[in-house]
Amino acid sequence: MAENRLMQSTANTPYKAVVIGGSTGSLDVLLPVLSVLKPPLTFSLVVVVHRKNTPNSPLATLLSVKTTLPVREVDDKDVMKPGCVYLAPADYHLLVEHDGTFSLDDSEKINFSRPAIDVTFESAADVYGAGVVGILLSGANADGTRGLKAIKQAGGITVAQQPATAQVAYMPQQAIDNAAVDRVLDVPELIQFINQLNEANQAL
């Protein structure tokens, strides 16, 4: 069924954005995934990770070291472009706007988190519909489940990390239990899946 959903989506619209959310333990997945993704990417890769707001955060630099793809921490009104990795800044919610830009919001925390994964998932679903893929990784709270529901309702593809492979299984397990995700993948399968999305876009 998941394979059919992938084929149906690519037949109707290219994938515009792959949005990856995670918390504790998610870097254990992000780093190996980024290191082997095959450029050029035909979509934007948006990363939302729960992290502390500390001066000179090294996360963007750390991600950059692991990939040949351009990585940037998002500034307000940045234009979203395919082929780039965009990182949500600490202490701001990250939204995707209908004019193809990002916006930052410092309103109250959601699920005790800012940035909240739900906010980015929901805004991407609203803008891109069936052209968005949401991926939820390791973490210790329920952030992301509501956003995956929005992506699924909009016709996009929803993915959760295999809980048995997560440092903290709670976040992906909540999505599996409550959001009816399309795929449950371990790290090698996730790498293959994202590369397949890219190949599907290239074939359009």
Q: Which helix (H) or strand (E) holds 79?
A: none
In sequence order, the β-bridge partners of residue 101 are 79
Pairing of β 102-105 and β 93-96? antiparallel
Active site residues: 23, 50, 143
73 has which bridge partners? 87
Structural tokens at position 41: 């990417």
Residue 13: DSSP 8-state:
-
Residue entry with tokens 């329920």: 142
Backbone angles phi, psi at 127, to 5 degrees: -85, -45
Q: Letter for the amino acid at 107?
A: S
Euclidean distance between CA atoms 136 and 174, whole angstroms: 10
With CA atoms as reference, report the closest residue to 34 among 70, 73, 72, 63.
Answer: 63
